[in-house]
Chain A
Amino acid sequence: MAAQPLEIILGRQFGDSLGMPVFLVDPMGNLLFYNEPAEGILGLRFGETGSMKVEEWATVFKPTDIDGKPLPPEGLPLVQTLATQKPAHGSFYINNLKGERVFITVTAFPIVGRPDRYLGAMAMFWKSPLV
């Protein structure tokens, strides 16, 4: 793995110190890091998976909408942020790797370094009440 820019290093450190789930990706969508609270929701330890390509993390959790219809990767807030470099927000179901179906809400935002360098994106997400 190439050395990371400062903003991504600080993003990981920020995520690592939070009590809410955080997911961090590079500009290509490669998963760089998720924190312990995210591990609890996803049912998977980061140390076991390491980096994942966007095609992998966007499908491995089998996201579905409220009606149970499969969500394509472009329907996920973080993938939208990667495409548009703008914040995105949404709620959907995932099947975590412990076999549980979890309803989550995600807010994703781009990471833009000084003066105008697009460096990746971060998503914060949380378990929502079932609808």
Chain B
Amino acid sequence: MKITVWGCRGSLPSPDPENFKYGGNTSCVQVMHGDTCIILDAGSGIQRLGKYLNPEIREIHILLSHLHIDHTMGLGFFLPLYNPNVAVHLYGPSATVEPLLHRLRRYFSAPLFPVRLNDLPRHPLIHELDDSTFEIGNVKIQSAFISHPGPTLGYRLTAGNSVLAYMPDHELQMGSSNFPNEPDWTSGYEIAKDADLLFHDGEYTADEYLTKIGWGHSSMEDAIAFGKLCRVKKLSLFHHDPMNSDKRLEKMYQDCTRNLSLDFEVELCCEGNAYEL
């Protein structure tokens, strides 16, 4: 799998000069496996991805973790949606009452957006997921509900022996009564266990988290503890707070890793990062 990060900021695009290194676009990660094109989330980063996508690609699979605006706001600006020769599949979490299509139409309608889904030259194909397993090309996808307000999925992508796990918005402390000690009783464990690369929410410091319990996000400390619990090979801290500059992110990272001895790699995710698994 060839993986490219087009956005790893949380909540709100923040294209400020002081955020230049880690980037200001919201969640969007591209995964290429042969001709298979999978995109994780459609935050503002997907707009630039659409501009640079190989024009020969005729089928695109967008896996939405959830429908909070920072994960969907780029959809209307994704050029392939306006190309009748490209089939776009949209996957997202089931809800109890309202179908995914109807929830997506809220974005593609007034007063939020001028173009309706039905106005697109080729209507996207909609796929509702819950705790599901399926394949796109030769990539096995596993989805599972994880701890975050509203229906939210984590994704596990497996190609051959390589595993990528994606949980950009995930509140670990709310998803376990004994964190980080019981893997089978920890939200997201099944998605992240033994992953080669895990993108995981690490928005706050431990102190900040205490004032934001229930908002759906995790501290860097908890994300690292989760990475250890899941025995991942590499953890990329994701969903940077829009208020945090590059300097502040690096200070947070240094503070929480200073006295740790870890047998896996931990990094701050950067927009533009590329990986090959």
Interface residue ranges, A against B (CB under 8 Å): 1-7, 9-10, 12-13, 16-17, 113-115, 117
**Closest chain A CB from B96 CB (angstroms):** 5
**Closest chain A CB from B145 CB (angstroms):** 4
Evaluate contact between A113 and B145: CB separation under 8 angstroms: yes
Instruction: Determine the distance from Cα of A3 to Cα of B145 in the docked complex, in whole angstroms.
Output: 12
Chain B contact-residue range equals 20 to 34
How many residue pairs link A and B with beta carbons under 8 A? The number is: 53
In the assembled complex, 28 residue pairs joining A and B whose CB atoms fall closer than 8 Å, in A order, are: A1-B184, A2-B184, A3-B184, A3-B189, A3-B190, A4-B184, A5-B131, A5-B144, A6-B145, A6-B147, A6-B187, A7-B145, A9-B147, A9-B175, A9-B185, A10-B174, A12-B185, A13-B174, A13-B175, A16-B177, A113-B130, A113-B131, A113-B145, A114-B93, A114-B94, A114-B145, A115-B96, A115-B128
Instruction: Determine the distance from Cα of A114 to Cα of B175 in the docked complex, in whole angstroms.
Output: 16
Instruction: Determine the distance from Cα of A4 to Cα of B177 in the docked complex, in whole angstroms.
Output: 13
B176 beta carbon closer than 8 Å to chain A:
yes
Question: Which residue of the partner chain A has the closest CB to B99?
Answer: A115
Please name all residues of chain B whose beta carbon is closer than 8 Å to the beta carbon of A10 when the two chains form the complex.
147, 174-175
Interface residue ranges, B against A (CB under 8 Å): 93-96, 128, 130-131, 144-147, 151, 174-177, 183-187, 189-190
Instruction: Determine the distance from Cα of A13 to Cα of B151 in the docked complex, in whole angstroms.
Output: 18
Among A1, A4, A9, A114, the residue within 8 A (CB) of B130 is A114
Please name all residues of chain A whose beta carbon is closer than 8 Å to the beta carbon of B94 when the two chains form the complex.
114-115
Evaluate contact between B185 and A114: CB separation under 8 angstroms: no
Among A13, A17, A117, the residue within 8 A (CB) of B131 is A117
Evaluate contact between A115 and B185: CB separation under 8 angstroms: no
Evaluate contact between B146 and A6: CB separation under 8 angstroms: yes
Instruction: Determine the distance from Cα of A3 to Cα of B131 in the docked complex, in whole angstroms.
Output: 12
Q: Which of A10, A17, A117 has the most CB of B within 10 A?
A: A10
Please name all residues of chain A whose beta carbon is closer than 8 Å to the beta carbon of B145 when the two chains form the complex.
5-7, 113-114
Instruction: Determine the distance from Cα of A12 to Cα of B145 in the docked complex, in whole angstroms.
Output: 16
Instruction: Determine the distance from Cα of A10 to Cα of B93 in the docked complex, in whole angstroms.
Output: 18
Instruction: Determine the distance from Cα of A7 to Cα of B128 in the docked complex, in whole angstroms.
Output: 18
